[in-house]
Structure 1
């Protein structure tokens, strides 16, 4: 059997699916007479007819069943059989935004990056917005990828078999999709930094790689933590791109605050705790920030170094590492983020340029990163959230120990690969995002 089929219209009768003998044999349909066929959440009964006069990459359905299933006929379908059900797919939805007006020609053109590897993906890929979801009849209005034209066709279709979420959803919407399509909404929960710490602290093998962290409530929390560790970091609980991070330390008898503001490094020093408390109260909000032990990071001169490890689930639902990017912060900056004038390198290039030319040492380092990242991602799975792509920020301290700083689980930005001058990696990250959706659609390999 071909690895995909086109659905054609059967003009001869109104009830039969027509398939050739080879495909029927491989799918276990030779002895079947009456089955049902599904696409997304729609299902229709059909009779099986075997015909030798059609090709391996075609099946025929009556027009009324094509209409009832809302099948886009330009799609290359894979076919699965589960007992008496014939499943056409995969059918993956990309929930891009809440407002359909934000889906335009430019955004659709950029979204073509997701289907660069369509010959590996197949099926229907539909971009849609939350305001075009019809809860009553379980349909969506959106844009379905047409592989022949490499463009998007506007369609009204049934609910997808899986949904890749790129927009916030309230519990009502999450439960609606759970009831309608099952647990196939991925990136289904956005967890913050403190939730990550609490969850992963339950795993002994991971806890030793987590800097001690508490939830900020009162200024005394920070002063007590500072007394214990001498140097700490305070971070927004849900912040990204290194924004809002403040380093606090003792320097002699002074309490020193360092942070970035308007692309500049700010340093403020106080003699008394009362003065420090005044700044703490102006900078931080109770239960909206975390306080974290400072790690003595590996540095190149006065520039901090950390690593973004891109982990993605493939069509077998296995976590794979699709790239490791090293980041070097601006001189004397407390963060390494590109948005704060940091620089990005492929991990191999970074180590060759600044530390070691030994291929053996570089390979061993990459394997350590991948091993720890895989354990972390598997632990996140055990916590009950359904993620397909994670960006792990790992670092190495001056003793060579690896630490997990945070996890970007919303929609890890693949442009860091472009910052490292690797277009291939950028496109690989984008196109790999939907492979897990294929597995969730029932087409796991």
Structure 2
């Protein structure tokens, strides 16, 4: 067993045009500084076409600069590779297979499959009550049937992330509205709606998800982002952030105008004990299907009856704007890296 001091941590990400690597640079700077302060050594490795080159960077905290370096064989790998489709390509597969062959622990090993997650939630006796209907969209007739049952549905690209590849469809009487992230198509007949969506359905693998009449402010909808982490075999709720959509928006992602709510905003919050209970149950469910998970986040909404719904689960959570949550996350990651392993 490698001793805590001198333990080598590798953060895997991807190359980026015009930058050293993809990802949240500030997060990695803070994380690797905390690793170094606890006696470890950390590197960022942009996984490229030649994964065995191991050309990466370390963070020189005293001089606040990234330094190019050859990454030594790590003791543990933190997978932050940001591209879902490319993660399944040969170069990535070769690298992660090499880690497995060398018995080097790695978390989280891959993106979650959205349809698999939806099926797991639907089939669980506890979590099914918090799971909106979610299924693969195979035809326009299926869309018509679901819109007869639900006044709002969301269409989600199975490979989408961070708000990309989401459409909202609203039934209003005998007409429909189609919302993309940048445009609204009002007063559509179903044939007109079908013409707009047909190319998307042909080119992408989509899920259709029941829309929830969630709580909103005068400006728009808001939801909850919950961070869960596993320490010493137990899942813990690290914190819950509130995200506000842009005025007229339907998702709370920052790229599309979403923002974190202030801690003193007068918004109805879910009971933290209930959120933690749901999160722990989700964690145990994921453990049975995905190896080596140590963190995930849930996007949740609360309807007007104060029922909580899970609308998405993310295997590689982005940084939290709430500093108290993010710093607690970093402390726990360092403890996992240097003391517990995967």
**Residue number in structure 2 paired with 1:84:** none
SS of 2:247's equivalent in the other structure is coil
2:243 is equivalent to residue 332 of structure 1 = no
**Residue number in structure 2 paired with 1:174:** 96
2:188 is equivalent to residue 270 of structure 1 = yes
Give distance in 1, aligned partners of 2:58 and 2:244: 40
Give distance in 2, aligned partners of 1:287 and 1:409: 21
Shift of 1:325: 0.9
Task: Summarize deviations over 1:125-149 as a string: whole Å, max 9, x none.
Answer: 23333359775xxx84544567888
Task: Summarize deviations over 1:238-289 as a string: whole Å, max 9, x none.
Answer: 222333322223212212223331xxx5132223x32222112034346511
Shift of 1:297: 0.6
SS of 1:380's equivalent in the other structure is helix
2:69 is equivalent to residue 164 of structure 1 = no
Find 1:219's aligned residue among 140, 143, 148: 140
Give distance in 2, aligned partners of 1:101 and 1:302: 37
CA contact (8 A) 1:235 1:246 kept: yes
Give distance in 1, aligned partners of 2:159 and 2:108: 16
Q: Report the TM-score when normalising by structure 1.
A: 0.65
Find 2:46's aligned residue among 122, 129, 132: 129
Give distance in 2, aligned partners of 1:124 and 1:221: 53
Shift of 1:174: 2.0
Give distance in 2, aligned partners of 1:293 and 1:132: 40
- Unaligned runs of at least 5 residues, structure 1: 1-37, 40-76, 79-87, 356-361
1:397-412 to 2 correspondence within 5 Å? 397-410=303-316, 412=317
Find 2:180's aligned residue among 259, 279, 293: 259
**Residue number in structure 1 paired with 2:272:** 366
Give distance in 2, aligned partners of 1:233 and 1:214: 11
**Residue number in structure 2 paired with 1:413:** 318
Give distance in 2, aligned partners of 1:109 and 1:336: 22
Cα-Cα RMSD: 3.4
CA contact (8 A) 2:33 2:61 kept: no
CA gap 1:292/1:91 in 2 versus in 1, 3 angstroms: same
Find 2:161's aligned residue among 230, 240, 249: 240
SS of 2:126's equivalent in the other structure is helix
CA gap 1:153/1:236 in 2 versus in 1, 3 angstroms: closer
Shift of 1:391: 2.0
Find 1:290's aligned residue among 207, 223, 227: 207
2:221 is equivalent to residue 304 of structure 1 = yes
Give distance in 2, aligned partners of 1:331 and 1:317: 41
Q: Report the TM-score when normalising by structure 2.
A: 0.82
**Residue number in structure 2 paired with 1:203:** 124
Give the number of equivalent residue pairs.
333
Task: Summarize deviations over 1:365-406 as a string: whole Å, max 9, x none.
Answer: 122212212221221112123223322101111111111000
Give distance in 2, aligned partners of 1:225 and 1:172: 41
Shift of 1:293: 0.9
Shift of 1:159: 1.8
